[in-house]
Amino acid sequence: MHIMTNLLDKILDRQNMYQALKSVCSNKGASGVDGITIDEIDGYIRENWPRIKIEIEERCYKPQPVLRVEIPKPNGGTRNLGIPTVMDRIIQQAIVQVLSPIVDKEFSEFSYGFRPGRNCEMAIVRLLEYFNDGYLWVVDIDLEKFFDTVPQDKLMSLVHDIIDDPDTESLIRKFLQAGIMDKGEYQPSETGTPQGGNLSPLLSNIMLNELDRELESR
């Protein structure tokens, strides 16, 4: 399936970027490695956006490393979050807004996580319908450290199969390979997609789509 327009033009479109800015600002959230806050982002964009836009178009934009933050999990242990800078969150959100309607058509009708117009309650209602139909078993599977262990090459080949747009794919890969800043030390990010970035939920659904289809066929 080939989309005949240049997706990157749609992503960098003024209106789409403005929508992404509003979305990121409404979610508030901490600043990333550059220390620039939600309150300061307007001034930063006014000063830097023309340069950033050209860098993205010429494939030489370098996203900044994500800031490693550990948060406690309800059942003990910690979860690693990677917080991109506010500017990188906005660019990621702009990508998500354009790709979501395209990739969503590929997903299973039984998939409810991180999808527009779907939520946890709808999944529970579906579950209750199964119980009413006489099914007795529910299997709860948690993929350990899923976001941290996603193979990037496999993920990008799945992204390519759906969007087939080299400029956009190059930008997504740059976010995957931006690296991690952990307690002031830089670490490369050769596997995984940082949990905490706006792109990761969409990418995780692309990655897990094959599993959904396999389970459906069984």
H or E segment to which residue 72 belongs:
strand 66-72
pTM beyond 0.85, yes or no: yes
Note down pLDDT in tens along the chain; length 218 residues: 444 458 999 999 999 999 999 999 999 999 999 999 999 999 999 999 999 999 999 999 999 999 999 988 888 888 889 999 999 999 999 999 999 999 999 998 989 988 989 999 999 999 999 999 999 998 888 888 888 899 999 999 999 999 999 999 999 999 999 999 999 999 999 999 988 899 999 999 999 999 998 988 88
In the numeric block, which tokens belong to residue 58?
Answer: 């010429």
CA pair distance 213, 218, nearest whole angstrom:
9
H or E segment to which residue 50 belongs:
helix 41-57
Q: What is the DSSP string of 85-141?
A: -HHHHHHHHHHHHHHHHHHHTTS-TT--TT-TT--HHHHHHHHHHHHHTT-------
